[in-house]
Structure 1
């Protein structure tokens, strides 16, 4: 089929698909890892609360795992100044299988969007699939700041630039496009 230039870009369905993909991905990580995170935080939170601080909520650490699954490190203040970076998955504190979730959810989002629109050429499917990034970027960008833990002017959370670029742009564009192309290739 020839390229149909009269077809409008599916902005709203793409945005909804991207937001839903991110939300479902977080939900899966939360349901899978929240109890483990709570157990691991018990001792640390007890010390923090004993010293008069507020414990680290499990939902924020689950968010860190989600960003780690996008290869975005969690950064924290380092002794002597600067920042230290950690990936909880790479460090063995969470299952390696978490790395599969972002590509999987974004591939599915690209497939769903392209099937909804009804494209049947890989080029059109790939281009349409990239638009999933519009919806995925919003919660990914907001999450970089929402899952931060702050205390006395310092913070710990996903690396800002990597979180904005990798989780908010690169992953959804690449895997949304692959899902869109796959959907178009396998259309009837």
Structure 2
């Protein structure tokens, strides 16, 4: 192996490990955002949904709403069916609920900045390279979360089949919440920190 090829291998390994680290921190950012949401809104979730929804799923619906992702509700009664969307934060009168809108941007900005500070990055291009992979981990969590946060029920009312379900809208959860949010805010935090480091 020549010295040049060894340098190329080391460079590729470093890029791979930094991408993997950024993606892993994307998962961490989603978890931190959810936990902060849980602390702020769990009491309202208990009050609004009671026994109708699992507590963690109710919190997840607010978490998706904080990413501007609507929650879709569907229902059917016999041959009749309906679908609508809801933003629980917009419908809430609570100050705690309104605060949820700033949690994802703040967590992602902070995480992007942390990456750049940890790695001592001063170049804007390198900062973008550090921040963009956060999207990978964040998108995985947002996509899977939208699937597992679905709740559904079925039953019979006066001999007529009835069913209903509530879940975050999958495509907006992936595109808006999973890709655009971290792409804008984590990368933005990385770039801002790189500019600060360069001073």
TM normalised by structure 1 equals 0.84
Determine which structure has the larger strand proportion and give its number: 2
| 3-state SS of paired residue (2:197) | coil
Q: Does 1:145 align with 2:153?
A: no
User: What residue number does 2:89 align with?
Assistant: 89
Residue 29 of structure 2: which of 21, 28, 31 is its match?
A: 21
Q: Is the radius of gyration larger for structure 1 or structure 2?
A: 2
User: What residue number does 2:181 align with?
Assistant: 171
User: What residue number does 1:60 align with?
Assistant: 57
| 3-state SS of paired residue (2:92) | coil
Written as runs of structure 1 = structure 2, the 5 A alignment for 1:1-188 is 6=11, 8=15, 10-42=18-50, 45=51, 55-77=52-74, 80-92=80-92, 94=94, 95-152=97-154, 154-187=164-197
Structure 1 stretches of 5 or more lacking a match? Answer: 46-54
* Runs of 4+, deviation exceeding 4 Å: none
Structure 2 stretches of 5 or more lacking a match? Answer: 1-7, 155-162
The CA distance in 1 between the partners of 2:165 and 2:48, in whole Å, is 20
The CA distance in 2 between the partners of 1:133 and 1:120, in whole Å, is 21
Range with greater deviation from structure 2 (161-170 or 60-69): 161-170
| 3-state SS of paired residue (1:70) | coil
| 3-state SS of paired residue (2:91) | coil
What RMSD over aligned residues (CA atoms) do the two structures have, in Å?
Answer: 2.0
| 1:92, distance to aligned residue in structure 2 (A) | 2.4
| 3-state SS of paired residue (1:8) | helix
| 1:99, distance to aligned residue in structure 2 (A) | 0.5
